C-alpha cells in the first residue's frame, strides 16, 4: 500500500470518532457468550451503563418496562439474514431505532443504533408527514408484542384517479396532504397513522379504545376546497382484528389482509366498509386466476367488440355503431365489462385493448360498408381509454388501420373523455389534429360531467358531442336535466358539432330529443350492444323497414 492509500484508509479510532459525532453506536450480540458489545456514542443513547459490553439480562433491564419485550426480541436468535428493526427506549434516553442483521448461521447479530430523529427523514411520507409503509409495519409489529386485542384499519380514497385526471397530480397531492393532516390530528401518536399506498392510509389501535373505523371516516370525509373546486372525499374502509402477544401474526401479513378487506369494500361501491374474513382469501385467489385468464384472453382472441346502434333521430336510420369490449371466457361465458375493464386497467392492458378494439372494429365496419352500400355514411365509434391519447404511436396506428381497411375519411370515430384533454389542452389539441389529419373523426364523450371550459371546446377539433346518459334518462322527470340536454344540443349546433344522446331507453325520450333538435340517439330503447353478427342483422332489418325499432317504454 502506498502512502496515499494508507492516508485514506479507515482506522478504528476514526470510525469511533465518526460514530460518536453522529450520536450513533454499533452493537454486536453473541447469544452463545451472552454478550452484547457496543462501540460509539453509547452515553447519548442511554447505553452508557452497558458499555462496552453487558449480558442479555442487563440489556433488557435497562430498557423502559413497557419496551422490555422488544429488547428481548433483539436478543432472540434468528436465521442468518433475518433483519432486525426495532424502536426501543432505554431509561433516561430518547427513543432509538435498532437496525441490524443476523449473521453466521444465526450465531450472532450486529447492527447500528441511533436516535429515532436521525432516521425520521426516511421513515416519513414526504407528502403527508405520516409514517411510510415500511415504518408502519415495524410499529405495528412492536405494538403486537404486547398482549391484548388490536384492530388494524385501512382506508382507500375513492376516485383518486378521477381527481388526478380533473385537477392534475399536483392539486390532487394537495388533497392527500390535507387528508394526512386530518388523520394525524384525529388519532394519538400511538395509533401510528401512516400512508401505506398512493391513496391508502392505515392505523393500528387497541381494540375498543375508540371506534376506529368511524373516527377514521369522520376525519377523512370532511369536505375541502382545492384550486377553486369543492372536494367531497369518500373512503372505502377495511379492518382486521388480531390478538397481540408472542403468537401474534406478522404485521406485514395483517396489512395484506386489511387491504383485501379494503378491496372488498370498494367492490360494494363508494364509501363501503368490510372486515377481513377467510372468504376474502378465496376471492383473492379467484382474482389471481382471472388476471391470468385475462392476459391469455388477448392471445386466444377472446376479447371482441359488441356493437350498439346509433340512430339518426330525424330519419330513424341506423347512422353507426359504438364498439364496446366484451370477453367471451371459455368457462365463465360472457364476462361483464365492469368485471374485467378495471382489472385490465390495473394490469396496464388498456392500450393493448384500445388497439385491439380499433383494429377489429375498423375491419368489421369495412366489411359492412362493402356488403351494404345502402347504409350510407355508416361510422363506428371506438373509445380511447384514459391516457391513451398520449400513447406513443397512437396517430401512426390510426393511420395504418384506416389505410389497411380502406375506410372512408371520418368513418372511424374516436371518443375521448373531457378529463383526458383537460390535463394538457395544448398537447391534446395537437394530437387531436393529427388524428383528424390521419382520417379519424372525433367525439367528446360524457360531455357535461367534467371540468371543461367552453373556450377549450371552441378550439379543439371535435365534430361530435356525446351527452352523458344520466341527463338523458332523467330529462322527462327532471327539469334541470332537460335544460342541460337542450343547452348541449344548442351549443353543438352553434359550434357546428353533431350531438349524440346516450341513454335513450324509450320512444318518449327519443321524441323529447327530436323536439330539442338532437341529431342522434343511442341506448337500450333501440338495442343493447350486439355481437357482430347480431349487429348486422339489426342493420339489415333497419334498412328493410326504413328505420330502427324503438321501444315504446322502458321495461
Write out pLDDT tens, residues 198-208: 889 999 998 87
Extents of the domains making up the chain: 12-115, 133-283, 301-545
Q: What is the 3-state secondary structure (H, E, C) of 386-426?
A: CCHHHCCCHHHHHHHHHHHHCCCCCCEEEEEEHHHHHCCHH
Q: How confident is the model at residue 6 (pLDDT cuts 50, 70, 90)?
A: very low
Report the percent of the chain where pLDDT is more than 70.
89
Helix (H) or strand (E) holding 30: strand 24-30
Please tell me the predicted confidence (pLDDT) of residue 537. Answer: 93
Domain 133-283 is found in CATH 3.30.70.270: yes
Residues 274, 265 contacting (CB under 8 angstroms): yes
Please tell me the predicted confidence (pLDDT) of residue 197. Answer: 87
pTM, 2 dp: 0.55
Is residue 385's pLDDT more than 50? yes
Residues 497, 466 contacting (CB under 8 angstroms): no
Phi, psi of 48 (to 5 degrees): -50, -45
Is residue 116's pLDDT more than 90? no
Residue, of 179 and 13, whose pLDDT is higher: 179
Residue, of 434 and 231, whose pLDDT is higher: 434
For the segment(s) 12-115, the CATH number from 3.90.1150.10, 3.40.109.10, 3.30.420.10, 3.30.450.310 is: 3.30.450.310
Q: What is the mean pLDDT of residues 242-266?
A: 83
The segment with the largest mean pLDDT, out of 81-95, 161-175, 371-385, is 371-385
CA–CA separation, 328 vs 334, rounded Å? 5
Please tell me the predicted confidence (pLDDT) of residue 521. Answer: 95
Please tell me the predicted confidence (pLDDT) of residue 81. Answer: 82
Is residue 535's pLDDT more than 90? yes
Is residue 4's pLDDT more than 60? no
Contacts of 496 (CB under 8 A, 6+ apart): none
Please tell me the predicted confidence (pLDDT) of residue 274. Answer: 76
Q: How confident is the model at residue 15 (pLDDT cuts 50, 70, 90)?
A: low
Q: What is the mean pLDDT of residues 57-72?
A: 85
Please tell me the predicted confidence (pLDDT) of residue 469. Answer: 86
Cell of 110: 450486529
- The CATH code belonging to domain 301-545 is 3.20.20.450
CA–CA separation, 391 vs 337, rounded Å? 23
Cell of 108: 450472532
Sheet holding 95-103, edge to edge: 53-54, 35-40, 24-30, 108-115, 95-103, 83-89
Beta partners for 149? 243
Contacts of 405 (CB under 8 A, 6+ apart): 362, 363, 365, 366
Q: How many CA atoms lie within 13 A of 14 on its CB side?
A: 5
294: alpha, beta or left? (left if phi > 0; alpha if psi -120 to 50): alpha
Residue, of 289 and 431, whose pLDDT is higher: 431
Task: Name the E strands within 267-391.
Answer: 273-275, 303-312, 318-329, 333-335, 379-383
Please tell me the predicted confidence (pLDDT) of residue 7. Answer: 45
CA–CA separation, 321 vs 382, rounded Å? 9
Residue 97 to residues 39, 70, 476, Cα–Cα distance (Å):
16, 11, 66
Residues 76, 108 contacting (CB under 8 angstroms): no
Nearest 10 degrees: Cα torsion 362, 317, 417, 428:
60
Please tell me the predicted confidence (pLDDT) of residue 451. Answer: 45
Report the percent of the chain where pLDDT is more than 90.
33
Q: How confident is the model at residue 162 (pLDDT cuts 50, 70, 90)?
A: confident
Q: How confident is the model at residue 18 (pLDDT cuts 50, 70, 90)?
A: low
Residues 326, 305 contacting (CB under 8 angstroms): yes
Stretch among 125-134, 282-291, 355-364, 459-468 having the lowest mean pLDDT: 282-291
Question: Mean pLDDT in the chain?
Answer: 84
Cell of 66: 413497557
Is residue 107's pLDDT more than 80? yes
Is residue 281's pLDDT more than 60? no
User: By three-state DSSP, how is residue 550 classified?
Assistant: coil
CA–CA separation, 263 vs 522, rounded Å? 33
Residues 465, 494 contacting (CB under 8 angstroms): no
Nearest 10 degrees: Cα torsion 208, 213, 214, 215:
80
Amino acid at each position: 500500500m502506498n502512502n496515499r492509500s494508507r492516508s485514506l484508509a479507515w482506522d478504528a479510532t476514526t470510525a469511533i470518532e465518526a460514530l460518536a459525532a453522529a450520536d450513533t453506536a454499533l452493537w454486536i450480540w453473541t447469544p452463545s457468550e451472552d454478550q452484547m458489545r457496543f462501540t460509539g456514542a453509547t452515553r447519548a443513547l442511554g447505553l452508557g451503563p452497558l458499555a462496552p459490553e453487558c449480558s442479555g439480562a442487563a440489556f433488557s433491564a435497562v430498557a423502559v418496562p413497557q419496551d422490555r419485550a422488544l429488547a428481548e426480541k433483539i436478543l432472540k436468535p434468528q436465521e442468518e439474514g433475518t433483519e432486525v428493526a426495532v424502536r426501543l427506549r432505554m431509561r433516561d434516553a430518547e427513543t432509538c431505532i435498532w437496525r441490524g442483521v443476523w449473521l453466521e448461521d444465526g450465531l450472532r447479530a450486529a447492527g447500528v443504533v441511533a436516535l429515532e430523529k436521525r432516521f425520521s427523514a426516511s421513515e416519513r411520507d414526504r407528502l403527508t408527514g405520516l409514517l411510510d409503509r415500511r415504518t408502519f409495519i415495524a410499529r405495528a409489529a412492536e405494538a403486537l408484542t404486547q398482549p391484548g386485542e388490536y384492530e388494524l384499519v385501512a382506508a382507500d380514497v375513492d376516485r383518486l384517479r378521477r381527481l388526478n385526471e380533473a385537477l392534475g397530480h399536483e392539486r390532487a397531492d394537495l388533497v392527500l396532504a390535507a387528508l394526512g393532516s386530518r388523520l394525524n390530528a384525529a388519532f394519538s401518536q400511538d395509533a401510528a397513522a401512516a400512508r401505506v399506498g398512493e391513496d391508502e392510509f392505515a392505523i393500528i389501535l387497541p381494540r375498543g379504545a375508540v371506534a376506529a373505523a368511524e373516527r377514521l371516516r369522520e376525519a377523512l370525509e370532511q369536505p375541502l376546497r382545492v384550486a377553486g373546486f369543492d372536494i367531497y372525499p369518500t373512503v372505502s374502509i377495511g379492518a382486521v382484528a388480531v390478538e397481540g402477544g408472542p403468537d401474534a401474526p406478522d404485521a406485514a401479513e395483517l396489512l395484506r389482509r386489511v387491504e383485501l378487506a379494503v378491496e372488498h369494500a370498494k367492490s360494494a361501491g363508494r364509501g363501503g366498509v368490510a372486515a377481513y374474513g377467510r372468504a376474502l382469501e378465496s376471492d383473492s385467489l379467484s382474482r389471481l386466476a382471472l388476471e391470468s385468464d385475462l392476459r391469455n384472453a388477448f392471445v386466444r382472441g377472446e376479447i371482441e367488440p359488441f356493437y350498439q346502434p346509433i340512430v339518426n333521430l330525424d330519419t330513424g336510420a341506423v347512422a353507426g355503431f359504438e364498439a364496446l369490449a366484451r370477453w367471451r371466457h371459455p368457462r365463465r361465458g360472457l364476462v361483464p365489462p365492469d368485471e374485467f375493464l378495471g382489472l385490465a386497467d390495473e394490469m396496464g392492458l388498456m392500450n393493448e385493448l384500445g388497439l385491439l378494439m380499433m383494429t377489429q372494429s375498423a375491419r368489421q365496419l369495412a366489411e359492412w360498408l362493402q356488403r351494404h352500400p345502402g347504409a350510407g355514411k355508416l361510422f363506428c365509434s371506438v373509445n380511447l381509454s384514459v391516457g391513451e391519447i398520449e400513447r406513443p404511436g397512437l396517430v401512426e396506428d390510426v393511420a395504418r388501420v384506416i389505410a389497411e381497411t380502406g375506410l372512408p375519411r371520418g368513418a372511424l370515430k374516436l371518443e375521448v373523455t373531457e378529463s383526458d384533454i383537460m390535463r394538457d389542452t395544448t398537447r391534446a389539441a395537437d394530437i387531436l389534429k393529427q388524428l383528424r389529419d390521419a382520417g379519424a373523426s372525433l367525439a367528446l364523450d360524457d360531455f357535461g360531467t367534467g371540468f371543461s371550459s367552453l373556450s377549450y371546446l371552441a378550439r379543439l377539433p371535435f365534430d361530435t358531442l356525446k351527452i352523458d346518459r344520466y341527463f338523458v334518462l332523467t330529462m322527462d322527470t327532471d327539469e334541470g336535466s332537460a335544460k342541460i340536454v337542450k343547452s348541449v344540443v344548442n351549443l353543438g349546433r352553434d359550434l357546428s358539432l353533431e350531438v349524440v344522446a346516450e341513454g335513450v331507453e324509450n320512444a318518449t325520450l327519443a321524441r323529447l330529443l327530436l323536439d330539442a333538435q338532437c341529431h342522434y340517439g343511442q341506448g337500450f330503447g333501440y338495442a343493447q350492444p350486439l355481437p357482430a353478427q347480431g349487429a348486422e342483422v339489426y342493420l339489415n332489418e333497419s334498412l328493410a323497414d326504413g328505420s330502427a325499432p324503438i321501444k315504446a317504454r322502458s321495461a
